[in-house]
């Protein structure tokens, strides 16, 4: 009798483990026809880096507006150039740069990069741009997938490895990976196939807001440009999507509003606004419809009204920190005071010190779009890593963006930021997954799909559980690196995982914002 009972238990367990008969996984059929944008490896299992994908690139089939391409490529290459220019002195304080100002593109330094190679800022921007082009739409889930590829495999990295990742971004991507795991089990979808999720209802069910509500690092802003570049013909969508693009990894309203405001400025640049119009203290008031008539939070409102217009720059309080309010103000100060010279502005942004590459990358997005590629310093742009790949992506952003039409937005409702497993219909849950054991960080109030013009304020996740680790401006601190110890990739790989913060995943790469070596000389604001 005991043997029969055991056999029945084994049979029952076998039945429960069996995949659904509909498991041809028709819900995970997405694959871009643009093969050079896919996750690809060499025969030796090393990932193909952007410059190694250039031979397979194809140009768009239709004509492209050259003026629009000049601005689009200017913005993306401006971002990458700012990143590359600032990378070798990243974490250096302003006092150091007063004595050793950056004047040219250099290699070595903080990350031991070759001249022209970029860090996380440009890598994530490429991931975002590729998602828009591959999906021909704004799909936050796909954006997170590509960020995950960068995090785990080095996708779109200039070195083939993920490095220089911010703590907030790392935490959000780990949360996304966790949600994917729960979601895959709940729907009986192989985890590897879930990266290619294509079913609209499942995309709607997956909660893409992976950040805590109080995270306001500059990592949301540093990668922004592809969104307003793609949707520039639709200013309201460009502005709102800009906010969403940041908030999936940085949940604070300040991050959302900073991205909305900066996205609107880039959008206006592509619509031929003058510099005076862009920097008008009443820009927000005159374009409230772009913002869905929703207000800006007080800190971003002050910046929009011109708080960055300080002739003294650093002496007047402008800082190149990792807090998104500081970063936005610093980038706009550099643009306002650059005397219509990209070179002057980007160097001024870098020489503020601290998060040098990100401040310069944020400046480069707007200034590059405004001045256009043809007016950027050729002595530098020609040395930017994978510039041909960036040019090709720019062409596709112009082409697909011009052909985009208003669609329904597949996003969770305003409070649907619970763990993904919690939003899975009960009939699809398997018995060996205890959904109740999954920690909840947000409430789930259902999902909707509505046209962008009729959307309620979906971005708000203020109703989440209170967190004790509020990341306000004076708490975005990370100590100055011993630059001699991390001057090469080999040295970085040898850094013990015990020296990294608990949230760090040593396997994908090394985190600049989580490595914490005590130094009374310099504590910088760098939690992006």
Please give the pLDDT value at position 447.
34
Is 63-524 assigned to CATH 1.10.4080.10?
yes
Q: Is 359 one of the annotated binding-site residues?
A: no
Q: Where are the domains of the chain?
A: 63-524
Secondary structure E strands in 124-258: 162-163
Residue 507 has a pLDDT of 39
Q: Token digits for 385?
A: 């890593």
Q: What is the pLDDT of residue 419?
A: 36
Helix (H, G, I), strand (E, B) or coil at 519: coil
Given the DSSP bridges, would you call strands 447-451 and 162-163 parallel, antiparallel or unpaired? unpaired
Length of the chain: 528
The gap from C-alpha 178 to its chain's centroid, in whole angstroms, comes to 19
End-to-end CA distance of the chain: 62
- For residue 408, say whether it is annotated as part of any ligand binding site: no
Two tokens, residue 15: 């039945």
Strands 509-510 and 162-163: parallel
At residue 528, the pLDDT reads 65
The pLDDT tens digits along the chain (528 residues) read: 555 555 555 545 444 444 333 345 789 989 999 999 999 999 999 999 999 999 999 999 999 999 999 999 999 999 999 999 999 999 999 999 999 999 999 999 999 999 999 999 999 999 999 999 999 999 999 999 999 999 999 999 999 999 999 999 999 999 999 999 999 999 999 999 999 999 999 999 999 999 999 999 999 999 999 999 999 999 999 999 999 999 999 999 999 999 999 999 999 999 999 999 999 999 999 999 999 999 999 999 999 999 999 999 999 999 999 999 999 999 999 999 999 999 999 999 999 999 999 999 999 999 999 999 999 999 999 999 999 999 999 999 999 999 998 766 666 544 333 333 333 332 333 323 332 223 323 333 333 333 343 333 333 323 322 333 333 333 333 333 333 333 333 333 333 333 333 333 333 444 444 333 333 333 343 456
Distance CA 442, CA 429 (A): 20
pLDDT of the residue at 99 = 98
CB 526 within 8 A of CB 516: no
356 is in an annotated binding site: no
Looking at residue 522, what is its pLDDT?
36
Residue among 265, 217, 276, 215 at smallest CA distance from 242: 265
Residue listed under structure tokens 């849950």: 429
358 is in an annotated binding site: yes
Cβ(388)–Cβ(395) below 8 Å = no
Q: And the tokens for 343?
A: 């070179």
By the 10 Å C-beta count (0-12 exposed, 13-18 middle, 19+ buried), 199 is classed as middle
Question: Residue 10 contacts by C-beta under 8 Å, 6 or more apart in sequence?
Answer: none
| Owner of token pair 């997956």 | 206
Q: How many CB atoms lie within 10 A of CB 147?
A: 28
Q: What is the DSSP string of 93-130?
A: -HHHHHHS---S---BTTTTBPTT---HHHHHHHHHHH
pLDDT on residue 495: 33
355 is in an annotated binding site: yes
Burial (0-12, 13-18, 19+ Cβ within 10 Å), 438 = middle
Q: How many CA atoms lie within 13 A of 97 on its CB side?
A: 22
Residue 104 labeled ligand binder? no
Query: Exposed/middle/buried for 18, CB within 10 Å: 0-12, 13-18, 19+?
Result: exposed
């Amino acid at each position: 009798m005991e043997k029969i009972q055991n056999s029945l238990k084994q049979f029952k367990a076998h039945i429960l483990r069996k995949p659904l008969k509909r498991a041809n996984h028709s819900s995970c059929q997405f694959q871009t026809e643009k093969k050079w944008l896919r996750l690809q490896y060499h025969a030796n299992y090393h990932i193909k880096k952007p410059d190694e994908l250039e031979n397979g690139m194809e140009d768009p089939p239709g004509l492209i507006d050259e003026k629009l391409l000049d601005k689009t490529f200017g913005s993306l290459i401006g971002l990458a150039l700012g990143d590359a220019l600032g990378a070798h002195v990243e974490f250096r304080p302003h006092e150091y740069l007063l004595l050793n100002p950056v004047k040219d593109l250099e290699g070595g330094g903080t990350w031991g990069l070759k001249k022209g190679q970029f860090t996380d800022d440009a890598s994530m921007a490429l991931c975002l741009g590729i998602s828009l082009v591959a999906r021909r739409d704004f799909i936050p889930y796909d954006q997170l997938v590509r960020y995950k590829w960068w995090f785990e495999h080095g996708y779109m990295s200039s070195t083939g490895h993920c490095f220089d990742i911010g703590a907030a971004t790392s935490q959000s991507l780990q949360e996304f990976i966790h949600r994917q795991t729960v979601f895959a089990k709940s729907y009986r979808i192989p985890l590897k196939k879930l990266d290619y999720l294509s079913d609209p209802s499942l995309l709607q069910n997956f909660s893409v807001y992976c950040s805590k509500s109080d995270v306001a690092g500059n990592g949301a802003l540093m990668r922004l440009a592809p969104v307003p570049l793609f949707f520039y013909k639709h200013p309201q969508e460009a502005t709102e999507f800009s906010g969403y693009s940041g908030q999936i990894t940085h949940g604070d309203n300040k991050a959302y509003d900073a991205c909305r405001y900066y996205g609107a400025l880039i959008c206006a640049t592509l619509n031929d606004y003058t510099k005076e119009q862009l920097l008008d203290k009443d820009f927000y008031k005159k374009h409230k419809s772009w913002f869905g008539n929703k207000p800006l939070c007080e800190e971003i409102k002050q910046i929009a009204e011109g708080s960055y217009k300080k002739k003294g720059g650093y002496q007047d309080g402008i800082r190149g920190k990792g807090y998104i309010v500081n970063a936005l103000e610093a980038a706009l100060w550099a643009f306002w005071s650059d005397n219509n010279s990209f070179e002057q502005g980007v160097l001024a942004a870098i020489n503020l010190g601290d998060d040098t590459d990100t401040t310069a990358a944020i400046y480069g997005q707007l200034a590059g779009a405004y001045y256009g590629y043809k007016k950027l310093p050729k002595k530098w742009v020609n040395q930017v890593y994978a510039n041909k790949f960036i040019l090709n992506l720019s062409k596709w952003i112009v082409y697909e963006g011009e052909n985009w039409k208003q669609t329904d937005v597949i996003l969770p409702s305003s409070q649907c930021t619970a763990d993904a497993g919690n939003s899975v219909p009960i009939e699809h849950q398997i018995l060996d997954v205890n959904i109740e054991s999954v920690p909840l960080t947000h409430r789930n109030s259902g999902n909707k799909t509505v046209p962008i013009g009729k959307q309620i304020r979906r971005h708000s996740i203020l109703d989440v559980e209170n967190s004790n680790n509020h990341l306000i401006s004076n708490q975005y601190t990370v100590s100055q690196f011993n630059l001699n110890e991390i001057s090469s990739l080999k040295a970085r790989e040898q850094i013990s995982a015990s020296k990294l913060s608990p949230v760090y995943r040593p396997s994908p790469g090394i985190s600049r914002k989580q490595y914490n070596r005590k130094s009374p000389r310099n504590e910088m604001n760098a939690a992006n």
